Chain A
Amino acid sequence: MAQLTPELSANIANDIYLITNQNTRKLFFDLYADQFAFKDDANLQGKTGAFILLKKEQSLGLAATGIKQRKGEALIALKGTSNGYDGLTDLNAGLKQFNTGGFVHQGFYYAFQSFLPELDQFLANLPPDIHTVHCVGHSLGGALATLAADYLKAKSGCAVNLYTFGSPRVGLSLFSEGALRRLGEKNIFRVYHRTDPVPMVPTWPFIHVPNGGLGDLLLNSSVALNPIEYHKMENYIGSLSGSEVKHSWELVRKKRPPAPITRSIESWLKSDGPLSLTLNTAWVAAEAVMWVLKKVVELTGIALVVGGGTTFTLLDQMAIFLKKAYDFGKKVSYWVTRLLVRLGKLIGITVSESVNITAALIRGIFIRMHSAVSELVMRAGRNVEH
């Protein structure tokens, strides 16, 4: 099936930033003119060509149909915006039920709804020979591409491929699982550097599409650069520029750096060694939270049903869930306690094994953890020099 290569998808995610200015937008159109049909007309009503997807006065991306070797394909490319990051770390940020079901971050929801009429118009006018739609985006554009891909898959009979670079988490588990099921994991290419802070927010209960598996494409990043540098498209392009890797997603998968395997997460939870909060330990902690939640469901059969208006209320629900799990039996309570001990260590709180675990304590630790990771991520952003 038709796929964009790592190199082409990364270049599109980078070049889509040029569409804001009308002269540089023409550069984008000229460079990709042999693959996609563009028409330099923001109010285009025709059956083919480019639709400029707008949010108020700001261009958020474009949609175009393929030509020549890309005949039968379509492209939706979305760019990030300069505002909206603050919302990713706001516990009071609201949740909205997305068109396909499941809750998503309200910031992404509203941005998506702002260009949905143009997207619907594009979809309605898609030539009948279109069989595959490619959705591409970086950063917040990656989050919007995720929503667009899920929406298009649910609304059209086309195969939809999703390519994101440094995307934040978009929605809760129901949305993430639904989008993964609809799109199929072999059609998702979620590329991220381990030390890129943006994919670390919003913190749990937001879950990536996908979180692990074929489409979870982790790239290595050294400690030489400021972490936020790894968020830039320039460095994503650099990481995918190997002479063979740039042509093959399979090779990108093979180059995946070793991730903490189950046994090492268990060891991390069991350990009593000192811990300090860094982007790396925050990443391991997030993996450990997911591991314990899965373990609890496996061992107890208690389902974590999440819903509500804000992340804040979700953390309440999770605290009640973990408290129930803690009370369920020794085996489960051990892992819940170890998780709280380790998270506590990261944020400078000593949780004794003998302490009475209450829902309030669990909630308190998760809220402080959320704030600490958010502060860490924002600090990484502040340290950038340009």
Chain B
Amino acid sequence: MQKVIIIFTVVLIILALPWPGAAMSNLNPLKACTFSEMQISLFFDGKPATGAKITRTIEWRKEHVDEFTADGNGQVTLPAEFENYYLKFFPMEFVSAQFLTVQYEGKEYEIWNYAKRKTELNSEMGGEPLKLSCELTSESITTRAFGSILGTRCTLPQES
């Protein structure tokens, strides 16, 4: 009996550990993906927004904020984020609030405001990472997307 308890505890601990790369919530019931990987190309007036600073805010149960810098081509990749998800009775509807702003040449632009409603990694694009092209001078549009609501000034490849 003691052996069973020890094995069960070890399995639980292993499952709760972050799995780099393979830490997909659809493979791990104890993880929820709060942000799918996102590859962004930033432009200002059609030219790469070199060195632009991206601030990412994710809020599900707690707020998580981090910053990234675009490379010489205005490109940046935001990694997926996961949070522990312990099984509960009747889980609430899942809502991970995602908010991205870009600081470029002294001005701030909101480029992504979205509520992720599924716990799976890359649930938005059928398993593929999100690839965005964002012209900072364009208007932000709010629309129904991915079973939720999205406000963005970026275009998705499928939409362009």
CB distance from B117 to the nearest CB of A (A): 7
Q: In whole angstroms, what is the CA distance A85 to B92 when docked?
A: 10
- Mask, B120-132, CB within 8 Å of A = 1, is 1000000000000
Is the CB–CB distance between B144 and A31 below 8 Å?
yes
Is the CB–CB distance between B142 and A31 below 8 Å?
yes
CB distance from A374 to the nearest CB of B (A): 11
Is the CB–CB distance between A23 and B99 below 8 Å?
yes
Q: In whole angstroms, what is the CA distance A329 to B137 when docked?
A: 83
Q: In whole angstroms, what is the CA distance A30 to B114 when docked?
A: 12
Which one of A15, A80, A233, A386 has the highest number of Cβ atoms from chain B below 10 Å of its Cβ?
A386
Please report which residues of chain B, range 82-126, place their CB below 8 angstroms from some CB of chain A when the two chains form the complex.
85, 87-95, 97, 99, 113-115, 117-120
Is the CB–CB distance between A24 and B89 below 8 Å?
no
Contact with B149, one of A20, A28, A85 (Cβ below 8 angstroms): A28
Q: Does B79 belong to the interface (CB within 8 Å)?
A: no
Q: In whole angstroms, what is the CA distance A228 to B149 when docked?
A: 24
Q: Does B51 belong to the interface (CB within 8 Å)?
A: no
Which one of B90, B91, B115, B143 has the highest number of Cβ atoms from chain A below 10 Å of its Cβ?
B90
Is the CB–CB distance between B113 and A23 below 8 Å?
yes
Is the CB–CB distance between A234 and B97 below 8 Å?
no
Cβ–Cβ < 8 Å partners of B95 in chain A: 17-18, 20-21, 24
CB distance from B108 to the nearest CB of A (A): 14
Cβ–Cβ < 8 Å partners of B97 in chain A: 18, 20-21, 23-24
Q: Does B72 belong to the interface (CB within 8 Å)?
A: no
Q: Does B37 belong to the interface (CB within 8 Å)?
A: no
- Mask, A219-239, CB within 8 Å of B = 1, is 000000000100111100100
Q: In whole angstroms, what is the CA distance A11 to B32 when docked?
A: 23
Is the CB–CB distance between B119 and A27 below 8 Å?
no
CB distance from A241 to the nearest CB of B (A): 11
Chain B contact patch, size range: 20 to 34
Contact with B142, one of A17, A27, A82, A233 (Cβ below 8 angstroms): A27
Cβ–Cβ < 8 Å partners of A231 in chain B: 90
CB distance from A143 to the nearest CB of B (A): 13
Q: Does A26 belong to the interface (CB within 8 Å)?
A: yes
Contact with A27, one of B87, B89, B151 (Cβ below 8 angstroms): B151
Please report which residues of chain B, range 15-53, place their CB below 8 angstroms from some CB of chain A when the two chains form the complex.
25, 29, 32
CB distance from B152 to the nearest CB of A (A): 10
Q: Does A96 belong to the interface (CB within 8 Å)?
A: no
Known: A28-B149, A31-B142, A385-B29. A82 touches B113 (CB 8 A): no
Interface of A is mostly: helix
Closest to A386 in B: B119
Chain A contact patch, size range: 35 or more
Is the CB–CB distance between B149 and A381 below 8 Å?
no
Q: How many A-B residue pairs have CB under 8 A?
A: 91
Cβ–Cβ < 8 Å partners of A28 in chain B: 149
Closest to A30 in B: B142
Closest to B25 in A: A386
Q: Does A57 belong to the interface (CB within 8 Å)?
A: no
Is the CB–CB distance between A85 and B147 below 8 Å?
no
Is the CB–CB distance between B91 and A384 below 8 Å?
yes
Cβ–Cβ < 8 Å partners of A17 in chain B: 92-93, 95, 115, 117
Closest to A379 in B: B89
Q: In whole angstroms, what is the CA distance A20 to B94 when docked?
A: 12
CB distance from B109 to the nearest CB of A (A): 14
Contact with B115, one of A24, A228, A384 (Cβ below 8 angstroms): A24
Q: Does A365 belong to the interface (CB within 8 Å)?
A: no
Contact with B59, one of A21, A233, A385 (Cβ below 8 angstroms): A21
Cβ–Cβ < 8 Å partners of B94 in chain A: 386
Is the CB–CB distance between A27 and B93 below 8 Å?
no
Q: Does B78 belong to the interface (CB within 8 Å)?
A: no
Is the CB–CB distance between A27 and B91 below 8 Å?
no
Is the CB–CB distance between B117 and A381 below 8 Å?
no
Q: In whole angstroms, what is the CA distance A384 to B148 when docked?
A: 21
Cβ–Cβ < 8 Å partners of A80 in chain B: 92-93
Q: Does A138 belong to the interface (CB within 8 Å)?
A: yes
Cβ–Cβ < 8 Å partners of B149 in chain A: 15, 18, 24, 27-28, 30-31
Q: In whole angstroms, what is the CA distance A167 to B119 when docked?
A: 23
Is the CB–CB distance between A30 and B151 below 8 Å?
yes
Q: Does A86 belong to the interface (CB within 8 Å)?
A: yes
Cβ–Cβ < 8 Å partners of B118 in chain A: 234, 386
CB distance from B21 to the nearest CB of A (A): 20
- Mask, B132-148, CB within 8 Å of A = 1, is 00000000001110011
7 smallest A-B Cβ distances: which pairs? Answer: A21-B97, A386-B119, A30-B142, A27-B149, A82-B92, A381-B90, A385-B29
Given A14-B93, A198-B90, A382-B87, 13 more pairs with CB closer than 8 A: A17-B95, A23-B57, A24-B114, A27-B149, A30-B142, A79-B93, A81-B92, A82-B91, A138-B93, A234-B147, A237-B147, A385-B87, A386-B29
